[in-house]
Amino acid sequence: MLVVFIRTLILYIVVIIAMRIMGKRQIGQLQPFELAVAIMISELASVPMQNTGIPLVNGIIPILTMLTAQILISFISLKSYKARNIICGRPSILISSGKINEQVFRNELYTLTDFMEQLRSKDIYDIADVEFAILETNGQLSVVPKAAKRNVTPEDLNLSVKYEAPAIDLIIDGELVSSNLKKTGLNKGTLEIELKKIGIRSIEEVFFASIDSDGKLFCQAKEKYRT
């Protein structure tokens, strides 16, 4: 039993490292060859887990081989446009200038039912509202609504807007994110002073804290420290 536990733990770590090296994309964002590699790696790991008669190295070496192949293919795709088209394919234009390209639907084995489902997930309920629709190489659908159906933006109204950057996390579950704190130009002492102004005695009492592009601090204390 202990042997099985150790073998499973080792293979689990190897698979996690392999998937981490492959990148941070979700399953729905993977290219077909990347998805194939991910599935094969999981299969290669499951066999030695179930059969202790198979040497552990016989499971690790194929995983590393598949990982090496995936990295090599990704590198080739990165360096060569032609190779990227061969390996990943090209985006397919399903609707162009409001006109449905029937032949493209047939070539991609993509039904109108699937297409309408994807449109609804993007809050578009009428195919007549679509100016362009592109089926990306990873299977995701990109849609450009017709001008009259797009959401109004400040630019449409000739309004000027101020710059707004994403908020920076400073404290997560009582732990200070020092690298982010340096980006803000603040220091730990200054932050602690700001916390005391809102009744929080120490960083350990904070569940989450962030600062926005205007320098405004958002902070929420842990439940046991709330009054």
Q: In terms of Cα–Cα distance, which of 90, 111, 93, 80 is closest to 31?
A: 90
Model pLDDT, residue 227:
66
In tens, the pLDDT along 76-94 reads 888 887 888 787 788 899 9
Region 53-61: what's the mean pLDDT? Answer: 83
Residue 32 has pLDDT above 80, yes or no: no
Residue 27 has pLDDT above 60, yes or no: no
Region 182-199: what's the mean pLDDT? Answer: 90
Amino acid in the structure at residue 141? L
- DSSP character at residue 77: H
Angstrom distance (rounded) from CA 75 to CA 181:
35
Region 181-195: what's the mean pLDDT? Answer: 90
Say if pTM beats, i.e. exceeds, 0.75. no
β 99-100/92-96 pair status: antiparallel
CB burial of 112-143 (b: ≥16 within 10 Å; e: otherwise) equals: eeebeebbeeeebeeeeebbebbbeebeebeb
Region 109-136: what's the mean pLDDT? Answer: 91
Amino acid in the structure at residue 29? Q
As a whole number of Å, the end-to-end CA separation of the chain is 50
Domains of the chain: residue spans and CATH: 2-86 (no CATH), 92-149 (3.30.240.20), 168-225 (3.30.240.20)
Q: Is 106 exposed, middle or buried (0-12, 13-18, 19+ CB in 10 A)?
A: exposed
Model pLDDT, residue 86:
80
Residue 31 has pLDDT above 90, yes or no: no
CB-based contacts of 141-147 (< 8 A; 24+ apart in sequence) = 141/94, 141/115, 142/91, 143/119, 146/98
Residue 125 has pLDDT above 60, yes or no: yes
Model pLDDT, residue 28:
56
Model pLDDT, residue 19:
79
